[in-house]
Structure 1
Amino acid sequence: MVKWLLVLIIAAPIVELGLLIWAGTEIGLFPTLGLLLAIGLVGAYLARRQGLKTYRDIQESLSRGEQPAEQLVKGIFIVIGGLLLLLPGFLSDLVALTLFFQPTQKIYRPLINRWFQKRTKNARIIVQ
C-alpha cells in the first residue's frame, strides 16, 4: 500500500503538469486557466450541495436510530473529492468529480470498504 501511495505521489504531479502543458499548447493559456477555474467552481458547488445533503441524511439516520455507515462513506467521498479539487490539474478534478456521483462512487466503494476492514480487523472496543 505504501509503495503504491509513493508512486501515486510522484506520478500524479508529473501527469497533471503534462496535461496542463498539453492543454495550454492546444487551446492557449487563458482558456486553460478558465477551464480549470470553471471546473473548480462547478466542483465546489457540487461539494457543497452533496455535503449538505449527506449531512442531512446522516442526521435522519441517527434520528431513526440507525447506523449512518453508507452516509459516512459518502461523506468520505465528498471530503476526498473536495480536497482533490483544491489541487490544480485536470486529472485530479476529473477524479474529484467522479467522487460526487453515486454511480461512479460504486467503483470506489470496495476500496474504502477494504481499507476499513483492514483497519478494524484487530481493533478492540472497550466500553466502560
Structure 2
Amino acid sequence: MQHFKAGARPSTRPNPDYFTGDVWFDPVMSTPAPARLNALVVRFDPGARTAWHTHPLGQTLYVLSGKGLICRRGEAPQVILPGDTVWFDQGEEHWHGAAPDVGMTHLAMQEADETGSAAVWLEKVTDADYRLDTQDPPERQD
C-alpha cells in the first residue's frame, strides 16, 4: 500500500514544448507495473493549453473547476465545465486547456503502453486554432 498525504508532493511544471501558457501538474498516481494508470490534476491559467497530442490507450478528463476547451483535430473547440467527463479514444488527435478568460482544472487519467508512453506529442496549437470559438460559445443549460 502507498499513502500519499495531501500536500506532501510538490506541484511541477510540464515540459514547455508541449504546453502554451502557465500550467501546473499535481500528481495523483503513477502505478507500478503491471498496472499502467497515470493520473494527475492539471491546472491551466486562462488561455493556457496543451499541444496537439494523442494517447496510445486513450484518455479520460474530469473537469474539477473553471471553464475549459477541448478540441478534436478537424473540429471546432467545445466548452467543458465542472462535472463534465471527456473520453479521447486511442490515437485521437486533440488538445485541451482553459478558456481565454477563465482558468480550468481537470483530472487527467491515461494508461501507459508497453513502452511506458502515455502520450505522443505533436505540434503546438496555434492561436488561430485556439480562437475558433471566440464568438462566446453557448453555455450548457443544466
Q: What is the TM-score with the length of structure 2 in the denominator?
A: 0.23
Q: Which has the higher helix share?
A: 1
Q: Which has the higher strand share?
A: 2
The higher radius of gyration belongs to 1
